[in-house]
Structure 1
């Protein structure tokens, strides 16, 4: 541990709730969020949330796709994924249970965080499916949790089948995710 980190303040959710602006909290460290993403990033997020919502509704699943909702992982960790899916009704405020699915759309300013710390966090917390969306390469990497708690990783083809909330089977067309 570097000397600077050793003496850095250790923040909690209580501190986080008072902050102005866009922040995440990683194991007590305040992480400033990047400025608003560009249009292509937001277009992909919008397409994904629409496709997930339509698929969940068509399958009659008790799940809810949500955009940029704070997930309070612990007293000192709060993240804000681009998209998450919760089982059951949407939370009254922030998400406090492990989501069934988390999706992050990579950008130059978030790529390292999404592929590093956040990927490790999502695996450690038992997220069922982690989608890593690369708009430049037009690919979706899928990390799916398997029975022993490890993760199977593959790149999605044209159609992505997902199992959410134990009894929900959906499919989304990856080719429609990248409209531009």
Structure 2
């Protein structure tokens, strides 16, 4: 740890809940959220969540697809993924359990964060599937957690994922970018 780092203030969930504006909290450090994303980003998000919901319903899976909801990982860490899937019904408040799937949609302001810090954070938190969607390149980076590490999945074929110890869903990544 650098000398400067030990003098940085550290914030908690209690502090976070009093802030105005859009923030995330990474290991006690406040991270300002980007302004609202543009249309193509939103189209990809709607497509992704729609495909997740359809896949879950088609196999009667007891899981819920959500978007833009805070996930409280720890007392000093709160993130707001673009989309996620939680086992069971939607939570009454923010998400407090580890999601089965987390997805981030890249924008120029967040691409580095999503590919590095958030990927590492989600891996450490035990997220089973992490998807990174790039609206401009119309591509997906997909990772499955195995033995505490993410392994790359082939993004050119349909995927089958086992979720929530109760079901298996299939997703076609090419559908995320269709108008």
CA contact (8 A) 1:140 1:155 kept: no
The answer for the alignment partner of 2:70 in structure 1 is: 70
Structure 1 segments of 4 or more deviating over 6 A?
none
Contact 1:139 1:155 in 2 (8 A): no
2:110 paired with 1:110: yes
Aligned length: 179
- Encode CA deviations 1:76-111: one digit per residue, 9 max, x unaligned: 000000001000111110011110000001111001
CA distance in 2, matches of 1:127, 1:174: 19
Instruction: Work out the CA distance in 1 between the residues paired with 2:112 and 2:172.
Output: 27
Contact map agreement 2:124 2:148 (CA 8 A) in 1: no
Normalising by structure 1, report the TM-score: 0.94
Cα distance in 2 for residues equivalent to 1:154 and 1:50: 21
RMSD between superposed Cα atoms in Å:
1.3
SS in 1 for 2:99: coil
Q: Deviations over 1:116-150 (max 9, x none)?
A: 1100000001100000111122111111012x333
Distance in 2 between the 1:48 and 1:25 partners? 25
In structure 1, C-alpha distance between the alignment counterparts of 2:8 and 2:151, rounded to whole Å? 36
State the shift of 1:8 in Å.
1.8
Gaps of 5+ in 1: none
- Counterpart CA distance in 2 for 1:29 and 1:22 is 14
Deviations 1:12-66 (A, max 9, x none): 0000000000000000001000000111011100000001001101110000000
- TM-score (normalised: structure 2): 0.95
Q: 1:79: which partner in 2?
A: 79
User: Gaps (5+ residues) in structure 2?
Assistant: none
